[in-house]
């Protein structure tokens, strides 16, 4: 590959790659490998974010269905299933002279800035060497506190790590509708989204399946972060013929989420804030503060805070919500939840004269350098 090659991240849902019986769709992976070879000829690198390990693990371990509420059994299913899944990718891609690698991540690997950068460097080097990394969450060791929770978020993270040009989600749905099409016969297909607002989020019905963990809402949230990073993303059906190749050629397939500009000037540290660690709480701000954050790139001052949802500590990552409850930004708290709750609505001069609020004296609640505002 040349240095000016583009990079596409493709996220594959469990229901796309694994049937209800737990059998891997080898024909699907074979077709994916063929498209990877064609993408390479078109000047594209490919990174795969693949669900399905747990779904194809439980049948071979003798479970009639995915074990619920039994973490060790779930982890065992993920461990056994990951071997089967990796072998299928290796064999089908090898038939097209493409080498694959396995990359397993948890929040523990990305929550620390240093390990986040190490993961980025490893993925970039694999792509540079012509390898197709197959990335999945390390469900064998994951627990609730360090889980991404869904591979839509993981795909957005990987896309930012490798500075992807495109992220494609292959799912059991063909794109975004104005409502859940399985429940509303009047639902209209949306071919392009230029801004994710409350109406777009409200249109996201539950599209989870018995073998998957995600839904349309997780895909929209991931797409919003990608738009903020200046990365185009597409949600389309995994059964759509030659979807990846057609998208690479500029054809309209599924729903395209188009960023405001091709590539925004977002510092890598801010992308890490958006995706690297889970949020530990939130603050709700008034209209004036929301305007200052979105339009002026300001820091968040305590005077603009109207509500605090915790508990959280100084240094934790928070969601910033507007008066309607819409998440408009994410950032690192300068103080703990008790302190911010006491400081909420107060001006800086009042904070500086209050001994209990000394932690915030002369500081914002969230500094603009530690804040990412979503597109």
Q: Is 54 labeled as ligand-binding?
A: no
Number of domains in the chain: 2
Same domain, residue pair 263 and 317: no
136 annotated as ligand-binding: no
The pLDDT tens digits along the chain (375 residues) read 445 789 999 999 888 898 777 789 999 999 999 999 999 999 999 999 998 888 888 889 999 888 888 888 988 988 999 999 999 999 999 999 999 999 998 877 777 778 888 889 999 999 999 999 999 988 777 655 434 557 888 899 899 889 999 999 998 888 999 888 888 888 899 999 998 888 888 777 544 443 444 478 888 888 988 998 889 999 999 999 999 999 999 999 999 999 986 545 566 778 778 876 678 999 999 999 999 999 998 999 999 999 999 899 999 999 999 999 999 999 999 999 999 999 999 998 888 888 888 888 889 999 999 999 987
pLDDT of residue 52: 87
Q: Which two tokens stand for residue 227?
A: 């738009």
Asked if 335 and 223 sit in the same domain, the reply is no
User: Alpha-carbon distance 375 to 371, whole Å?
Assistant: 13
354 is annotated as contributing to ligand binding: no
Residues in the chain: 375
**Are both 287 and 260 inside the same structural domain?**
no
Ligand-binding site membership of 227 (annotated): no
Enter the DSSP assignment of 119. H
Q: Is 218 annotated as a binding residue?
A: yes
Smallest CA-to-CA distance from 57 within 81, 74, 73, 75 is with 81
Number of CB atoms found within 10 A of residue 37's CB: 15
Let me know whether 352 and 217 are in one domain: no
In this prediction the pTM is: 0.85
- Sort 180 into a burial class: Cβ within 10 Å, 0-12 / 13-18 / 19+: middle
238 appears as a binding residue in the annotation: no
In a domain, 274, yes or no: no
Same domain, 178 and 294: no
Residue 151 assigned as binding residue:
yes
Q: How far apart are CA 125 and CA 237, in angstroms?
A: 30
Q: Does residue 273 sit within a domain?
A: no
Q: What is the CATH number of the domain that holds 223?
A: 3.40.1160.10
Instruction: State the residue range of the domain holding 115.
Output: 6-268
pLDDT at 315: 93
Give the pLDDT confidence score for residue 361 in this predicted structure: 83
User: Quick one: 217 and 347 in the same domain?
Assistant: no
Same structural domain, 59 and 191: yes
In a domain, 289, yes or no: yes
* Residue 215 labeled ligand binder: yes
* Distance in angstroms (rounded) separating the CA atoms of residues 145 and 115: 17
Domain end residue (candidates: 268, 291, 307) = 268
Distance CA 339, CA 365 (A): 10
Q: DSSP letter at 277?
A: S
The span from the CA of 193 to the CA of 343, in Å, is 38
Ligand-binding site membership of 11 (annotated): yes
225 shares a domain with 314? no
Helix (H, G, I), strand (E, B) or coil at 105: strand
């Amino acid at each position: 590959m040349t240095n000016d090659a583009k990079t596409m991240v493709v996220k594959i849902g469990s229901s796309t790659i694994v049937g209800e019986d737990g059998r891997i769709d080898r024909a699907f992976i074979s077709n994916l490998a063929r498209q990877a070879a064609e993408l390479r000829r078109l000047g594209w690198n490919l990174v795969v974010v693949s669900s399905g390990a747990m779904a194809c693990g439980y049948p071979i371990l003798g479970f009639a269905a995915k074990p619920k509420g039994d973490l060790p059994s779930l982890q065992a299913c993920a461990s056994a299933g990951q071997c089967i899944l990796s072998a299928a990718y290796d064999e089908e891609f090898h038939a097209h002279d493409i080498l694959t690698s396995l990359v397993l991540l948890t929040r523990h690997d990305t929550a620390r800035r240093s390990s986040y950068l190490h993961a980025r460097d490893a993925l970039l080097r694999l792509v540079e060497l012509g390898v197709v990394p197959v990335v999945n969450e390390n469900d064998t060791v994951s627990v609730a506190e360090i889980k991404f929770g869904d591979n839509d978020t993981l795909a957005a993270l990987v896309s930012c790590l490798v500075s992807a040009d495109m992220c494609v989600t292959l799912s059991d749905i063909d794109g975004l509708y104005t409502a859940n099409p399985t429940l509303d016969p009047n639902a209209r297909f949306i071919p392009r989204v230029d801004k994710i607002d409350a109406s777009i989020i409200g249109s996201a019905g539950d599209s989870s399946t018995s073998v998957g963990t995600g839904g349309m809402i997780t895909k929209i949230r991931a797409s919003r972060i990608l738009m903020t990073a200046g990365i185009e993303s597409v949600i389309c059906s995994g059964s759509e013929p030659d979807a990846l190749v057609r998208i690479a050629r500029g054809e309209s397939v599924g729903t395209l989420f188009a960023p405001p500009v091709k590539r925004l000037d977002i510092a890598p540290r801010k992308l890490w804030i958006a995706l690297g660690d889970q949020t530990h709480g939130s603050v709700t701000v008034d209209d004036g503060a929301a305007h200052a954050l979105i339009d002026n790139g300001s820091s968040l001052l305590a005077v603009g805070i109207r509500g605090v949802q915790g508990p959280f500590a100084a240094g934790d990552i928070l969601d910033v919500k507007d008066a309607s409850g819409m998440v408009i930004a994410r950032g690192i708290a300068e103080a703990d939840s008790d302190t911010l709750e006491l400081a909420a609505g107060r001006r800086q001069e009042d904070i500086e004269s209050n001994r209990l609020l000394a932690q915030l004296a002369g500081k914002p609640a969230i500094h603009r350098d530690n804040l990412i505002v979503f597109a």
